[in-house]
Structure 1
Amino acid sequence: MEETIKLFEEDKSLAQIYKLFLEADRIFAYGTGYGQNLMLKEFYRCLLNNNIYLHIIPSKTELELVSQTITPNDLFMVASLSGNMNGIESMIKNIAVKQVPMVSVTVFSRNDLAYLADYNLYYQVSHLNKINQLNNSSFCTLNLVLSLLYEGFTNHIKSSV
């Protein structure tokens, strides 16, 4: 948890991410797994306090549809454990080619998703199963980084008024 907080606090792009939240026509979020989707739903619930509406994309089928209609005036967030894009690579690349601002939230590592994204937020996990890339502990650090993003965003709004 300490490493996740440190990574977040050292991020120099947070003000730009907050600005994107305020200026985007639509904000879409996709989680590559069940746990990531749960954490994005909690993030969505928090953002409602600031009248920010997050469209959570429930599956690959809907991601394909969104990738065809999303525009550079929107914002796209994707939460992943490994940053592996198996099965969604063409859709993510399509979104990137359209120059849609993209924020990735992944484990701190070199990964394809973070490479394609304009902005990268990272979290650490302590128990990653090397064989199947599943987190054996929990998604508390993903939840932590999204909570820090929400709190930072809320403070950004308050200081802008």
Structure 2
Amino acid sequence: MSLDKLVESNYAQLNEIDLYIWQYILHHKRECQKISIHELAHECNVSHTSILRFTKKLGLDGFSELKFYIKWDLSQKSEFTPQIINEACDSFVKTIDELKNHDFTHVCSMIHHAERIFVYGTGVLQNDMANELRRQFLYSNKVLHIAGHGTELDTLISNVTERDMLIIISLSGDNEDAVTLARILKGLKVPMVGLAKTNNCLLSKYCDEMITFKYYTFHLGMTDKLYGCTAQFFLVADFLFLKFLEYLNESK
């Protein structure tokens, strides 16, 4: 079992500190295979006992076994097979089924009643989805404002109110900038909807609603990075807009 799957299967036992440790490891696996427990604790701004508690919650014997899993993850290579295409197609079908059966009533109500709607994406693909949502919702006379990064976020935080709403688009749902933004706006009582591949993420702790999708990844064999198909992001965009049109029709 990969470290990612190990975390996913034990997610219910993890607290916010555990998730921040995992977030650092997830994005720095190559560095983490070489550092000591004290160095990792320093990077995560936690105690070394917090690292040990995290490993125990995953069912591991300690930090050494955690590093073994990290090295094993990094060593995985892929020989491209037809099964990968089958798995990718299966993730598309499961995403469609999940979205078709998802109750969007509250999300659509939030969109309908919000004075202003802001959309924040954590990366290039997420920003593409944000722009696609903006294009689609113009057809229903709803203007979505794309929230930028840096000083633009500071301006957003300074001006947003509880009469507005924010849509946060993240793949993992554990992106540090997205989670920090969500935590701040939660304190300001701003309604929020999160989009991520799983409910088992930090973002879900702060958002009023989460929309999730199936996301299949595989090793390219050329780097230690995982590759995942991106159609799911745009399937979510399409379904959210279609469900909103359905909501407007039923409201009449």
Question: Does the alignment reach a TM-score above 0.5?
Answer: yes
Could you report, residue by residue, the CA deviation over 1:8-52 in whole angstroms, capped at 9, with x for unpaired residues? 23333x111111111101000000011000011011100000000
1:21 matched to 2:111: yes
Judge conservation of contact 2:178–2:203 (CA < 8 Å) in 1: no
Letter in 2 for 1:27: I
User: 1:36 corresponds to which residue?
Assistant: 126
1:69 matched to 2:133: no
User: 1:57 corresponds to which residue?
Assistant: 147
Q: Which gives a bigger RCO, structure 1 or 2 (Cα 8 Å, sep 6+)? A: 1
**Structure 1 spans left out of the alignment, 5+ residues:** none
Could you tell me the TM-score, scaled by structure 2's length?
0.58
Q: How far apart are 1:3 and its partner, in Å? A: 1.7
Q: How many residues align?
A: 158
From the two aligned structures, give the one with the greater strand fraction. 1
Q: How far apart are 1:128 and its partner, in Å? A: 5.8
RMSD: 2.1
Residues 146 and 135 (structure 1), Cα distance of their counterparts in 2 relative to 1, 3 Å cut: farther
Q: Secondary structure at the match of 2:115?
A: coil
1:2 matched to 2:93: yes
Could you tell me the TM-score, scaled by structure 1's length?
0.89
1:152 matched to 2:240: no
Q: How far apart are 1:133 and its partner, in Å? A: 10
Q: How far apart are 1:86 and its partner, in Å? A: 1.6
Q: Percent identity?
A: 25
Could you report, residue by residue, the CA deviation over 1:99-131 in whole angstroms, capped at 9, with x for unpaired residues? 1110000002410012211100001211166xx
Q: Which of 102, 110, 121 in structure 1 is aligned with 2:200?
A: 110
Q: Which protein is bigger by CA-based radius of gyration?
A: 2
Q: Following superposition, which runs of at least 4 residues in structure 1 exceed 4 angstroms of deviation?
A: 132-135
